């Protein structure tokens, strides 16, 4: 039985489905999505529907909360936060649901967002969206950093971390960086799986980005799919 972790999908459901086709998924295998399933890309609703389909097929799919899901949830509680979410890709998410307002999104999807955990742990791995604030006695207590932190590698408290390896997304890096981090995984104990899939959708000067990345926790094999959305 294998577990596959997948980086930030950002509404790129066609790419997500193509990546899934590449994975040798078998009964009993599990998936961990590292957050930011929604926003920016064209089909956030479709991404959640793909998760629902996989679960129906019997695959346990853990969907971590990313800062983008948190922006959506914040807007639900406080309409003043709405603009920030909309301008960070929330418009595209509403569009994918064919609605103009957040409350137009069907309840089962809102319940899905509300239920997303901030982190997930296996025997060997700690999975988070962005990273950890190691200045805290228990870095898992600081939800803000789990969703937003960048450049935390120099602060890692290896006494606290023990033998666990951290898998995360949130900060797009080149495929080459991901491969180097994989080589150094036993020593450094961190691996970023975000190659900025949604960057392929907009004008940018980062041709080294634009793929969705998956990683098998047991075999340590990397899979990647160029954005087709």
Specify the DSSP element, H or E, that contains 16.
helix 13-22
Give which of 62, 70, 68 is closest to 120, Cα–Cα: 62
> Over the Cα atoms of the chain, what is R_g?
17
Considering the rule CB under 5 A, would residue 67 count as an interface residue with Mn ion? yes
Considering the rule CB under 5 A, would residue 44 count as an interface residue with Mn ion? no
The nearest distance, CB 85 to Mn ion, in angstroms, is 13
Does residue 96 contact residue 44 with C-beta atoms inside 8 Å? yes
Considering the rule CB under 5 A, would residue 65 count as an interface residue with Mn ion? no
The nearest distance, CB 83 to Mn ion, in angstroms, is 18
Pick out residues in 97-156 that bind Mn ion (CB under 5 A). none
The nearest distance, CB 41 to Mn ion, in angstroms, is 13
CA distance 194 to 210: 9
Pick out residues in 6-25 that bind Mn ion (CB under 5 A). none
Q: With the C-alpha atoms ordered 226, 53, 39, 29, is the resulting torsion angle positive or negative? A: negative
* Nearer to Mn ion (CB atom), residue 39 or residue 229: 39
* Nearer to Mn ion (CB atom), residue 45 or residue 68: 68
**Segment contacting Mn ion (CB under 5 A): 84-92, 165-173, 177-185, 216-224?**
165-173
CA distance 51 to 11: 12
Alpha-helical runs (H) found in 39-190: 44-56, 67-77, 82-85, 91-97, 107-114, 143-148, 158-161, 175-183, 185-188
* Nearer to Mn ion (CB atom), residue 11 or residue 66: 66
The nearest distance, CB 148 to Mn ion, in angstroms, is 8
* Nearer to Mn ion (CB atom), residue 59 or residue 210: 210
Considering the rule CB under 5 A, would residue 36 count as an interface residue with Mn ion? yes
Q: List all residues 6 or more positions away from 45 whose beta carbon is below 8 Å from its beta carbon.
A: 93, 96, 97, 109
* Among positions 40, 45, 118, 170, the unique one binding Mn ion when judged by CB under 5 A: 170
Counting residues that bind Mn ion (by CB under 5 A) gives 4
Q: Which residues bind Mn ion (CB under 5 A)?
A: 36, 66-67, 170
């Amino acid at each position: 039985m294998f577990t596959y972790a997948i980086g930030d999908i950002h509404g790129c459901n066609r790419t997500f489905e193509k990546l899934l086709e590449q994975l040798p998924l078998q009964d009993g295998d599990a998936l961990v999505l590292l957050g930011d399933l929604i926003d920016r890309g064209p089909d956030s609703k479709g991404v959640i529907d793909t998760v629902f389909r996989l679960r129906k097929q019997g695959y346990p799919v853990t969907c971590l909360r990313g800062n983008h899901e948190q922006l959506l949830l914040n807007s639900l509680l406080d309409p003043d936060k709405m603009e920030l979410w909309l301008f960070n890709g929330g418009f595209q998410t509403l569009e994918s649901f064919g609605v103009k307002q957040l409350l137009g999104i069907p309840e089962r999807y809102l319940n899905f967002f509300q239920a997303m955990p901030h982190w997930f742990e296996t025997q060997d791995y700690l999975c988070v969206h962005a990273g950890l604030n190691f200045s805290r006695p228990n870095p898992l207590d600081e939800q803000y950093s789990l969703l937003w932190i960048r450049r935390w590698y120099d602060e890692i408290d290896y006494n606290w971390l023990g033998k666990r390896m951290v898998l995360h997304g949130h900060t797009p890096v080149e495929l080459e960086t991901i491969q180097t981090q994989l080589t150094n995984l036993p020593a450094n104990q961190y691996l970023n799986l975000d190659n900025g899939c949604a960057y392929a959708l907009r004008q940018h000067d980062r041709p080294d980005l634009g793929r969705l990345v998956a990683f098998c926790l047991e075999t340590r094999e990397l899979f990647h799919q160029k954005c087709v959305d």
